[in-house]
Amino acid sequence: MVQTHAGDDSDGKIWGIEGMNLLFIIAGLLLSVGLTLLLFGHHSPLFSFGVGTVPFVLTTSYVFILRQGKPKSYDTDLLETLFTGTGWMAPAQQPRNPLYESA
């Protein structure tokens, strides 16, 4: 028997956070810093910081609630189920075209 390690497809972990999830968190952090700096010149520091933290909090919540430690596509399947009711269902079978039926 040949070991293929087919089940070892891992993106790796950094500080306990899975690979792609870390990119979401960093993107949220960058958006938060940019929004805070943008608002800082026109509004109070407390308001700027409060509004600026929203992207970071949303992306971090998304990662830890719907992605971290969950099976692949769990987040998209759950959201599809909530919005359309078809997330975990097998695709509907298309009716057969009589012109393409094999003899």
Higher pLDDT, 2 or 42: 42
Regarding predicted confidence, which is higher, 54 or 6?
A: 54
Whole-number pLDDT of residue 95: 67
Of 20 and 28, the structure prediction assigns the larger pLDDT to 28
Q: What is the pLDDT of residue 2?
A: 62
Helix 19-40 to helix 54-62 angle (10° resolution) is 170
Q: What is the Cα 68 distance to its own chain's centre?
A: 9
pLDDT band at 51 (very low <50, low <70, confident <90, very high): very high
Residues 23-37 pLDDT 10s: 889 999 999 999 999
Structure token digits, residue 90 = 């097998």
